[in-house]
Each structure stands twice: as C-alpha cells, then as structure tokens.
C-alpha cells in the first residue's frame, strides 16, 4: 500500500510540474456520477462488488488544473461467508467519502487526479437476536486516479484506499 501511495504522490508531482498542454478549465463545475467498485485488500474477503453515486465540484486554478471536492455514498454487497462451518449473515457496508484533491489535465481530454480525505464507514451486522445492528467508524482515505473528459461527460478509474483495504473505482459522470 505504501508503494501505491508513493507512486501516486510522485505521479501527482510530475503532473504538477508539467505545463505542456492547456485545457480550457471552467472556473467552477459540478458533476454527478455513478460509481462501480471492485473491492481489493481486506475488503475483498467480505464483499463482492459495490455501487453508488458521487458529487464532485471542481474549482479552476489554472487553464489546465482544478481543486476538487468529492462526496457521495458507495454500498458494498456482502459475499456468502462461512467461518468454522457456520454461515455468517453479513450485511451491507456503506462508505461515505469526503475528499479534497487536485485534477490536472495533461492533454486536451485526459487528466490525473489525486484526492485525500475521510471515509465514514457504516457496516451492518446481525445482532444475534434475529435483528441487525450497525458499527460505524472513519478512516483516512486516499485516491489516485486517471480519467477522460469529453465535453460534459467524464469517466475515471481510481484506486481508493484506507487501512489495509480499498477498491478499484470506476466513475461515469456528467459535469455541468
């Protein structure tokens, strides 16, 4: 995980130091997106896939860069688990990330993005009495990624990580 984080920081620094291309970045855009998530690390042991929606605001800094704020909700669907021969009735997990970041266009349509913030995580588990209870927590989150923007349409791929777990995320969105 440290290697991925280091790679993300080095990549972001390289992108920030290059002004080879110019993108006509608007001063302010807001976008909505649908999310797909493939759990990795510790998260893949209990959950198969995730889906959700996010909102991303971008504030233009230069002709080819912007500061971003992103939030939303991503729900993960549990796998069928068995521990010691006993079936575990695991329920959904919901992640609510709140991240700030930097988006840099390295050509007319393609960009790199790095974000960091907090994810508020709520996991639903059986309570032993036939009902369900929830466990909540928060984790530092980091998310390096790449994307393409054509007009208002935006597609990006990222790794979003926190405490030994994470997911590969695909975001399909539209910017206003």
What pLDDT, on a 0 to 100 scale, did the predictor assign at position 137?
Answer: 95
pLDDT of residue 99: 98
Q: Cα 23 from chain centroid?
A: 24
What string of H, E and C letters represents the secondary structure of the chain? CHHHHHHHHHHHHHHHCCCCCCCCCCCEEEEEEEEEEEEEEHHHHCEEEEEEEEEEEEEEEECCEEEEEEEEEEEEEECCEEECCEEECCCCEEEEEEEEEEEEECCCCEEEEEEEEEEEEEEEEECCCCCEEEEEEEEEEEEEEEEEEECCEEEEEEEEEECCEEEEEEEEEEEC
Domain coordinates in residue numbering, the chain: 2-175
Q: Are strands 65-78 and 93-105 parallel, antiparallel or unpaired?
A: antiparallel
**124, β-bridge pairs:** 134
Q: Return the pLDDT at 90.
A: 76
Full pLDDT tens readout for the chain, 176 residues? 454 444 444 454 444 444 444 445 568 999 999 999 999 998 998 899 999 999 999 999 999 999 999 999 999 999 877 666 667 677 889 999 999 999 999 999 999 999 999 999 998 887 778 788 899 999 999 999 999 999 999 999 999 999 889 999 999 999 99
Give the global pTM: 0.81
CATH level 2 (architecture), domain 2-175: Beta Barrel (2.40)
Residue 167 and residue 143 in contact, taking contact as beta carbons nearer than 8 Å:
no
pLDDT at 85: 66
């Amino acid at each position: 995980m440290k290697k991925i984080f280091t790679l993300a920081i080095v990549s972001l620094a390289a992108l920030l130091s290059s002004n080879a291309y110019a993108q006509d970045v608007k001063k302010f855009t807001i976008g909505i997106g649908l999310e797909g998530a493939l759990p990795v690390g510790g998260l893949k042991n209990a959950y198969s896939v995730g889906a959700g929606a996010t909102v991303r605001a971008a504030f233009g800094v230069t002709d080819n860069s912007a500061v971003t704020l992103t939030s939303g909700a991503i729900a993960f669907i549990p796998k069928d688990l068995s521990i010691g021969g006993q079936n575990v009735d695991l329920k959904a997990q919901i992640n609510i990330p709140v991240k700030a970041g930097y988006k840099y266009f390295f050509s007319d349509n393609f960009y790199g993005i790095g974000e960091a913030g907090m994810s508020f995580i709520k996991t639903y588990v059986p309570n032993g009495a036939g009902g369900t209870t929830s466990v909540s927590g928060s984790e530092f989150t980091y998310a390096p990624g790449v994307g393409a923007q054509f007009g208002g349409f935006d597609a990006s791929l990222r790794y979003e990580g926190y405490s030994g777990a994470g997911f590969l995320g695909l975001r399909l969105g539209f910017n206003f």
